[in-house]
Structure 1
Amino acid sequence: MAAACTWDAIPEHLQECILSLLPITALLPVAAVSRALRRLIRSPAFHALLSPHRLDAFFLLSPRLAFHPLSRRVLPVPPLGSPPVVSSASPSHLVTAASLLDLPPLPASSYLLAVVPISSFCREYTLVAVDTGTGVRSYTLDSADPSPRWAPREDLPLPFALLGNAAVAGDRGQLFVLGRGPDALLVFDLATGRWGVLPVAMPQGLTSAHLFVFGGRLFMVGGVERFGMVERVLVWRLEDSEVAAWWTEVGAMPEEVFDELVAGRHVSFWHFQAADRMGIVCLYNAVDGRLVMFDAADDEWTKQSGVSSLDADESRRWFGHVLEPRVELLLGQSYGS
C-alpha cells in the first residue's frame, strides 16, 4: 500500500531514476519541497542521469512571447537556462546568452549555421558558421577552448545561393544541411571539417524545406509548389542502402491545417518558417501570424489559434530559435539572455 512505503524509504538511486524522468521545468518545484530533495536534485550524480525532455522546449515567436508545443500555449518568454540552444531555419541573427557573446565575432560575411552541444546538458558547444556564394566557406569554434577562435574548415567548391537549416546527427558528429539554389542534401563532418554532397534526388517543387532528426532517422518537411504557389506540405524520410539513398513520402499536412497555415491566401502563399526539437516541428507563417505543429512521435498535425496578434516584424527576426533550460537552472544560478 502507498501508506506503507514513503518516499524516504525508497533507495536514493531509485529516487534519482524516478526524478530524472521529469523535465527540468517540473523539477524546480520538487527541489523546494525539502532539503533532502534539493540536495539530490543538485548533485552531479543526478545531473548525469538527465537527458533532453520534450516538455522543456520553448519556441520563440518574438523577444516577448514563446510557444510551448506540448501544452500548446503561447506564454511569456521564460527565464530559461544559459546558454540556450540556437536553431535557425535560415541565415539569421545570433540569439544567445552572455557566455556566448564573449566569444570572437563571426567571420566577415558569414552567419551562424549551427550550435552543437558537445553532450546533453553541457555548457560547451561547437559552433559552425558559413558564407555562401561561388563556394561555401565554413568555420568552426569550440567554446571549451581556453582561447577560442574561428578555425577555417574545408570549402565546398560548389555554388549555392544559400544554405538552409542544419540537423544534428544523433552522435553529434555530423550535420545534415540543406543546400538551396540548387537543392541538395549536404553533410558536414564536425571532426574533419569536410563537406560532402549526398547522392539523393531532392523532391520536385520543394520550397521552405526544413530538416529534422527523430528516432535516429533524418526527415524533411517542406512545401511543394506549382507555378510559384505552395499547393501542399509533405513530410519525407531519408532511406538509404549500400548503393543508393532516396526520400520517401511519409505524411501530408491535412487540408484543414494547411488552410490555417496559408491564412486564406492560397493563390499567393509561398513561404513559411520552421523550427524543431525532439520530433516536434512548428511551422509559422510570420506575415499572418499563423502557427501549426507536427509531432513525429504520433504523426499528428495540429493548428494553434490565437497568435495572429504577434508583432510580425519581431517574428521575422526571432522565430526559428528554441530555448531549453539547462541543469544550471536547478542550481539557482542567474542567466544571461
Structure 2
Amino acid sequence: MAADSAARCPWDELPAHLQERILSRLPLTALVPVAAVSRALRRLLRSPAFHALLSQHRLDAFFLLSPRLAFHPLSRRLLQVPPSPPLDPSCPPLISSASPSFLVTADSLLRLPALPDRSYLIAVVVPPSPSSSSRDYTLVAVTTNGAAVRSYSLDSADPSPRWVPGAELPLPFAILGNAAVASDRARLFVLGRGPDALLVLDLETRKWAAPPVVMPHGLTTAHLFVLDDRLFLVGGVERLGVLERVVVWQLDNDEAVGWVEVAAMPPEVFDELVAGRHGSFWHFQAADRMGTLCLYNALDGRLVMFDAVDCVWTMMPRVSGLGAGESQMWFGHVLEPGVDLLLGQRSPCS
C-alpha cells in the first residue's frame, strides 16, 4: 500500500509549497547535492519563498581551523571552506557572534570609533533573525584594571555609533574569558579569570552581576556555551598541576546548587586529545555552535567533537600540515554559509 501511494505521488507532483517545507527542514549543507539534480530544484532553492522558510541549523556550521580549512559536524570531516569575502587570510577574525554567525576583523572596525583605552572585545551580538538587508550588531568591549571591570557597548544601527560606558563591577579580575550570549539576546554570560567566577552583563541596562556560584575546583581552559536557554561550562580539571580529565557542567536553576556535572570525556578520547601531555599540556581551544562543541589541541593537531544534544564524544582524524599559530588565530570562530553562497551565487555571507 505504501509503495502504491508513493508511486501515485512522485516528488514532481507535490505542490511547490510542500516541496519547500520539506527541503527547508534539511541543513543547508545537505542541500548542495539536491541543487545538482535538476534546474527546477535549483530554482526552488533560490526562490525568495524558500529563503523565507529557512532558519539557522546546527549542522550548517564550519568550525574554522584556517581561512580555507574547517571541521564540519554534518559530515564529521575536515572540509575546504566555501570561498567567502570575510575570510581574508591576512586579516583573521577578532571576535565572532553566536548564531547567526558574524565575523569581526580589524579591517571591519576601521570605520567605527576607536576602542576605549586598554579595552578588548569580548562579544558581538547579532539579532536572532536579521533580514537579508540588515547587518546590525552590538559590539561589547571590556577593561579589567585589577580593581574593577567596566563594559563598553557600540550599536552599529546608531546613526553616529559610539562606545557607551556601562556600570563598573568593583571586583578584581586579571582578565575575562569567553562570553556566551543568552538565548533572549538580553544577557551576556562571561567568565572571570584570576580568580575564576561567573559574571552576567545585562545588555539593556549595561549593569554587571556576579551570581554567588562556586566554580569547579581545579578548573582550567574553561569555555561557556548556551543551549536551549541552559548555560554550560566545559573545561579541564587539574590536580597538582596535572590535567586529569575534561568535564561538561550545567548551571542548575538553583544558584546555591551551582554547576552540576553532566558529561565527562571518555578516557580513550581524553588520552588522544592531550597527546601524552598530561603534565605539561594545559591548554586546548574551544568553540561552540548550537550545542556542537569542538575542542582543539593546536600543538598536536588533535580535534574532539562533543554533541551536547545527544551527549556523544567523537575523536576526529589528526590535523596535519597546519601551523599552530594559524590555528590559534582562526579556531574559535564559526561560519554558517548562506544558501546563496553554497549554491554558487555571489551574495555575501552573513
Q: Do the two structures share a fold, i.e. TM-score over 0.5?
A: yes
**Shift in Å, 1:97:** 9.8
Counterpart residue identity of residue 260, structure 1: E
120, 123, 136: which one aligns with 1:111: 120
Give unpaired runs (5+ residues) of structure 1: none
Q: Which has the higher contact order (CA 8 A, sep 6+)?
A: 1
Q: Conserved in 2, the CA contact under 8 Å of 1:280 and 1:294?
A: yes
1:162 matched to 2:175? The reply is yes
Structure 1 segment 185-200 matched on structure 2, within 5 A: 185-200=198-213
The superposition leaves residues 286-331 of structure 1 with CA deviations (integer Å, 9 ceiling, x where unpaired) of 2222111111111111111221432111112221111112355369
Could you say what secondary structure the match of 2:53 adopts?
coil
Partners of 1:62 and 1:311 within 8 A in 2: no
Q: After superposition, give the CA deviation of every residue in 1:116-166 in whole Å (9 maximum; x if it has no partner).
A: 221235532222111222322211222233333322222222121111111
1:318 aligned to which of 326, 330, 338:
330
Q: What secondary structure sits across from 1:16 in the alignment?
A: helix
Structure 2 equivalent of residue 20 of structure 1? 24
Mapped to 1, the partners of 2:108 and 2:6 lie a distance apart of 46
Distance 1:81 1:12 in 2: 33
Scaled by the length of structure 2, what TM-score is found? 0.84
Secondary structure in structure 2 of the residue aligned to 1:2: helix
The residue number in structure 1 matching 2:55 is 51
Partner residue of 1:61? 65
Distance 1:81 1:16 in 2: 29
**Counterpart contact for 2:298–2:327, Cα < 8 Å:** yes
**1:58 aligned partner, one-letter code:** F
Aligned-partner SS, 1:107: coil
State the alpha-carbon separation in 2 of the partners of residues 96 and 121 from structure 1: 20
1:204-238 deviations in Å (ceiling 9; x for gaps): 11111111112321111101111222111111111
Q: What is the identity, as a one-letter code, of the residue corresponding to 2:260?
A: T
Aligned to 1:220: 233
Residue in structure 2 matching 1:148, options 124, 142, 161: 161
Larger CA deviation: 141-150 vs 177-186: 141-150
1:285 matched to 2:297? The reply is yes
Q: State the shift of 1:256 in Å.
A: 0.8
CA RMSD of aligned residues (A): 2.9
| Deviation sequence 1:98-124 (CA, Å, 0-9, x none) | 766644443332222112221235532
| Residues 141 and 7 of structure 1, relative CA distance in 2, 3 Å threshold | farther
Aligned residues: 332
Quick one: structure 1 residues 39 and 98, their matched pair in 2 at CA, closer, same or farther if it must change by over 3 Å? farther
- The counterpart of 1:305, out of the listed 310, 317, 330, is 317
Give TM-score, length-normalised by structure 1: 0.87
- Relative to structure 1, the CA distance from residue 58 to residue 225 in structure 2 (aligned partners, 3 Å threshold; closer, same or farther) is same
Mapped to 2, the partners of 1:321 and 1:206 lie a distance apart of 23
Percent same amino acid at aligned positions?
A: 71
Cα deviation, residue 244, structure 1: 3.1
Does the C-alpha gap of structure 1 residues 124 and 87 become closer, same or farther in structure 2, counting only changes over 3 Å?
A: same
Q: How far apart, CA to CA, are the structure 2 residues paired with 1:153 and 1:172?
A: 17
